[in-house]
A and B are shown apart, each in its own frame.
Chain A
Amino acid sequence: MSNIEQNPVKLLELEGVSISRSGREVLHDVTFDIYKGKFIGLIGTNGSGKTTLLRAILGIVSPSSGHIRFPSSSKQGSSNNIGYVPQKIDFDPDMPLRARDLVALGLDGNRLGISKRKKSDKLLVDSLLEQVGGTEFANSRVGELSGGEQQRIMIAHALISKPELILLDEPLANLDLRSQVEIVTLVSNLAKDSNITVLISTHDMNPLLPVMDRIIYIANGKVASGEVSEVVTTESLSSLYGHHVEVVNLKGRILVVPEFEEGGFNFLRGIPGNEDH
């Protein structure tokens, strides 16, 4: 898009990946590459396979065919350096763990032995907490925070170690509209500063439009990927859905509208980009 990379480094490649859950093929023949430092939106309706795809990238779910590789990584094409914010977060309110402790676990929770955190680590935790707007509740138990507050803490926890890739699964779902814009801007800025690649799933692409470099659009178990201007077009999405859909630009919001049929507006539901705010 705006900044032309001199030497794009391929971080991740998916080649002909198919994934089945309980005997049903959720994703079929998915192929795309992800380049370092990009901000990528993973867009699809409920049940389209976003979470499944992210978990496959993490290596928690194995594809039934195809390959997922980190070509630049030394560890046989897999990566141990991914920041992950799961879609479902369920913290025990009785757990003796403060918000700041969770952020610090993002820094060194994968290491062995007892932590002797340096002064610089503490400052880093403080600065991340401040950037996600979590200073106020830094010393509260994570289990006692609201869903949106937990989401912010989890994002700080994922970013703090400056991993090569962060995967955020529906991080906007718990947030009000203003917080959505805030979080998207924040993640994008932090990632650009540290050259972190971001893959963020959501059913509504609109909050991502200002910062998204590329889009991966899932429908029907298939994927279209590329720049927003290439993928989100009437032709390309119609061929992905297998029937005619119309891409409409309404006052800066992109709507994906199925062809009009008898029976009113109900069928608009469940097409990404059509949520009301």
Chain B
Amino acid sequence: MFSAFMLNAWEISSIVAVVSGVVGFFVVQRANAFAAHALPNGAFAGAAAASYLGISAVIGLSVFSLAGALVIAGLSRRTRSDVATALVVVMMLSLGSLFLSFSSGYAQQVYSLLFGEVFGISRSEILPTLLISLFCMLVVLFLYRQLLYTSVVPEAAQAKGVKLAVVDLMFLLIVALTTTMAVPVVGTVLIFTLLISPAAAARSFTNKAHIAILLSVSLALTTVWASIALSYETNYPAGFFVGACGALIYASGRIYRFIHSKNSKSREATLAHILWGLAEAALTLNTDAPLGEVKDMANIDKVVENKLPMTELNQVVHLVQFISSNN
């Protein structure tokens, strides 16, 4: 399990987990879950474009996700940010599906970006990933207090001279960078899990922000380590275990808070999240979906927001329908 070949997988997934734990905390705290979902999907479309143009997938990923972040930040000043995000992801996905339809030959490569290829990482990819991750975490630490303050009472922060638009934009760019870096490793579907589940669970276990970040990192690491080990032992895809662990960790957080908190309102949310995680995991097991459906798959989960468990339940229903119609 710890051969030289596996070492790359361990290293790269640990790096991705740490940065996801840190960035994910603020994704959840700032209610940016939808953007964190949209940007990887957009980035996936960028990779499709790159594969059609015959250039490196990483270029497609970064151009699409950074451009997506810029447009979301720009539009959010004029309209509701979830609407802006939805517009951007729809635009990027439609471009992506156009490029996919041109380029049948590169299907496998693009498909691998959906769920990542944690076991196919080469030695040379580790250093760039590490550097980008360090950069993302340094920016988050640098902006730490402003990120927190603007997430709690943005207008009061503005009154104290915090440039809200700048902080919003910087953070979206960090999410875009994290995504770009993580997509080749865990894929567009699972980077979302890794950004949201550990952070959301961590919020249930503590009422201090800095402890929640440390916990979020530990839970993300636990998730990827357990997934790699289980995948190695069972030969099921690592992505399946990432989704399942994410759901499990989140559920245990909700249950902990359910027991320890005086006003616990969220049975429904807990249920929705467990189902969502399981459905996502089931989707990753269904690995021989023909390419035509990959486009639809990227389209299915349109609106995921922590605050709207019912929307997620809807999505779960769609996912289950989608999976069963394919089997």
**Is A113 an interface position by the 8 A CB rule?**
yes
**Inter-subunit contact A80/B261 (CB<8 Å):** no
**Is A86 an interface position by the 8 A CB rule?**
yes
**Inter-subunit contact B157/A110 (CB<8 Å):** yes
**Inter-subunit contact B159/A97 (CB<8 Å):** no
**Inter-subunit contact B153/A89 (CB<8 Å):** yes
**Is A4 an interface position by the 8 A CB rule?**
no
**Inter-subunit contact A109/B145 (CB<8 Å):** yes
CB distance from A54 to the nearest CB of B (A): 10
Which one, A100-108, A206-214, A223-231, is touching chain B?
A100-108
**Inter-subunit contact B145/A110 (CB<8 Å):** yes
If A101-B208, A109-B148, A113-B141 touch, whether A94 touches B203 (CB-CB below 8 Å) is yes
In the complex, A80→B145 CA distance in Å?
Answer: 16
**Is B149 an interface position by the 8 A CB rule?**
yes
Write the A152-179 contact mask toward B (1 if CB under 8 angstroms, else 0).
Answer: 0010011001010001000000000000
DSSP class of A's interface residues: helix, strand, loop or mixed? loop
Question: Among the interface residues A60, A96, A109, which one has the most CB atoms of the partner chain B within 10 A?
Answer: A96
In the complex, A101→B261 CA distance in Å?
Answer: 19
Give the residues in chain A near B156, CB-CB below 8 Å. Answer: 83-86, 106, 154, 157-158
Q: How many residues of A contact B (CB 8 A)?
A: 43
If A109-B145, A110-B160, A114-B144 touch, whether A144 touches B155 (CB-CB below 8 Å) is no
CB distance from A128 to the nearest CB of B (A): 15
CB distance from B265 to the nearest CB of A (A): 8
Q: Which residue from A83, A89, A113, A163 sits with its C-beta under 8 Å from B144?
A: A113
**Is A95 an interface position by the 8 A CB rule?**
yes
Q: Which residue from B149, B152, B263, B265 sits with its C-beta under 8 Å from A110?
A: B149
Q: Which residue from A81, A111, A114, A142 sits with its C-beta under 8 Å from B141?
A: A114
If A98-B208, A105-B145 touch, whether A81 touches B153 (CB-CB below 8 Å) is no
Give the residues in chain A near B202, CB-CB below 8 Å. Answer: 96
Q: Which residue from A102, A108, A111 sits with its C-beta under 8 Å from B152?
A: A102
**Inter-subunit contact A97/B207 (CB<8 Å):** yes
If A98-B207, A101-B208 touch, whether A60 touches B158 (CB-CB below 8 Å) is yes
Write the A113-134 contact mask toward B (1 if CB under 8 angstroms, else 0).
Answer: 1110000000000000000000
**Is A82 an interface position by the 8 A CB rule?**
yes
**Inter-subunit contact A83/B159 (CB<8 Å):** yes
**Is B180 an interface position by the 8 A CB rule?**
no
If A86-B156, A105-B152 touch, whether A112 touches B143 (CB-CB below 8 Å) is yes
> Which residue on chain B has the smallest CB distance to residue A167?
B159
**Inter-subunit contact A109/B141 (CB<8 Å):** no
If A89-B153, A101-B209, A144-B263 touch, whether A115 touches B159 (CB-CB below 8 Å) is no
In the complex, A55→B158 CA distance in Å?
Answer: 11
Q: Which residue from B149, B152, B157, B263 sits with its C-beta under 8 Å from A93?
A: B263
In the complex, A163→B157 CA distance in Å?
Answer: 13
Q: Which residue from A84, A91, A92 sits with its C-beta under 8 Å from B159?
A: A84
The residues in A between 65 and 86 inclusive whose CB is less than 8 angstroms from any CB of B are 80-86
CB distance from B138 to the nearest CB of A (A): 11
**Is A247 an interface position by the 8 A CB rule?**
no
In the complex, A107→B10 CA distance in Å?
Answer: 42
**Is A38 an interface position by the 8 A CB rule?**
no
**Inter-subunit contact A113/B152 (CB<8 Å):** no
**Inter-subunit contact B29/A95 (CB<8 Å):** yes
In the complex, A83→B263 CA distance in Å?
Answer: 31
**Inter-subunit contact B142/A112 (CB<8 Å):** yes
Give the residues in chain A near B212, CB-CB below 8 Å. Answer: 96
Give the residues in chain A near B153, CB-CB below 8 Å. Answer: 86, 89, 102, 105, 154, 157
In the complex, A145→B48 CA distance in Å?
Answer: 48
Beyond A58-B155, A110-B160, 18 extra complex contacts between A and B, CB < 8 Å? A60-B155, A82-B160, A83-B160, A84-B155, A84-B159, A86-B155, A93-B265, A95-B152, A96-B203, A96-B212, A97-B148, A98-B208, A101-B208, A105-B152, A109-B145, A110-B161, A114-B144, A157-B153
A-B contact pairs, 28 of them (CB 8 A): A59-B158, A83-B159, A83-B160, A84-B155, A84-B156, A86-B155, A91-B152, A92-B31, A93-B263, A93-B265, A94-B200, A96-B211, A97-B152, A105-B148, A105-B149, A105-B152, A110-B162, A111-B145, A112-B145, A113-B141, A113-B142, A114-B141, A139-B207, A144-B263, A157-B156, A158-B156, A161-B160, A163-B160
A-B pairs with lowest CB-CB distance, top 3: A80-B161, A109-B149, A84-B159
